[in-house]
Structure 1
Amino acid sequence: MCVQGLGRLIGAQTLPKCKRGVRIINVAHGGLIDEAALLDALQSGHVAAAALDVFATEPPTLAQRELIMHPNVMCTPHMAGYTKASQVAATRTIAQQMADALELKAFTGIVNAANLSLLSRTELISFSSIAERLGELHAQLMMGKLQRVTIELQGPLVSDASAVPALRTAVLKGLLSVSHVAGAVSYLNTAQYVADLGFEVVEKVSSKSAHYTNLLTVTCTTNKEKRQMAAS
């Protein structure tokens, strides 16, 4: 759904400002494009081609037929918007996914977080939270300039190939969220912050743990101290 006031962002005023021969692709929301203006621009040749899978009215009406049938327009059906039943089903699914995420049950379908393979496995969500808390605790107790973070993952669950990068990111997010970084830290930008700050990140992975089924150990080394914390 378009936010009020943002409809028809591409239209009669904006299209002439584009370079002649521009190609328009819209897979976001039909209301973003003034379809009449797009058709005019296609007919004049200012827009070379367009690809659309969403339309201002769904399913498209006869009034949109000329645009859809234009030889330089490629269309694919936006099936979710074709019937009221499909729209209701999609709405219910999204609502259930949001409820599950807020209750930390599952993160099915999430698109703006790293390592989706971890988030889709509910048994690993608790380890992701623990990893972030360990990072936060280290940041609160740390003295000196951070030089190295060593993350040890022992056990069949945490050493899984899909879990390792996600748990590393969780540790670093917790560490950077409390200190070192002035801006907002997320699962998506931790790698860039680590590169900017210049400290080393070391991973040690083993499918077996001597005393615990799964063990997560984080060691932070600064120019003044070395501190180790673990959780299972």
Structure 2
Amino acid sequence: MADQQEASPAGGRVAVVTGGSGGIGQAICRRLAADGHAVVINYAGRPAEADRLATAINEGGGRAVAVRADVGDENDVAALFEAATSAFGGVDVVVNTAGIMLLAPVAELDLAVLDRMHRINIRGTFVVAREAARRVRAGGAIINFSSSMVKIALPTYAAYAASKGAVDALTLILARELRGRDITVNAVAPGPTATPLFLDGKDQAAVDRLAAMAPLERLGVPGDIAEVVAFLAGPARWVNGQVLYANGGVI
């Protein structure tokens, strides 16, 4: 591919994290920065949170910049990768965290809600993955975000789970399309995780029921998911074309 870049220099790897101002996204940015990655924190609607996170990472001895981009807009995404290259010299790791979850039974779902989730969860993941496939350097990693809800299959999650099932298909095929490039492509599929996105609209009884599903008898926390991403972004060079379920044993 014409846009393919050379392997990363010895000075360290560079990670682009979409949705980096969110709960799981922030934990991933902090973890990758702690592991020595320069981090490009992508955000769409929370500039203050993204800026605070970048400041905290830089003050802690890491390297980070915050960059606004709509993941569903190909021009924004191209500019995001250009910003990463301008700031740090290239891109080695892309973590496709950006996503939304809107719940309703199939019979009651407003199609505008379906279209909104499609634009961010499916189109957004595809646009970012396409740019990553063109730009990530040899030895790099592309990490998409699926969901354990694809298999748990709880009522009201159909539209959301369907959008994440599309991410699974994209991940497995892209891994094969990048044959010979020394780039891994995987997806992380979190289970119930205590983030504002997941907890919004749920009463305590519902939260307790979801927490009890796992044999570990708790919800996940963002740091649990960041651990899996750090594994895929660094040492996991023989894990490729997989969906990793990080859910405490729910499935």
With the shorter chain as reference, the TM-score category is under 0.3
Of Structure 1 and Structure 2, the greater strand share is in 1
- The TM-score normalised by the length of structure 2 is 0.26
Higher RCO (C-alpha under 8 Å, 6+ residues apart): 2
Higher-Rg structure is 1
- The TM-score normalised by the length of structure 1 is 0.28
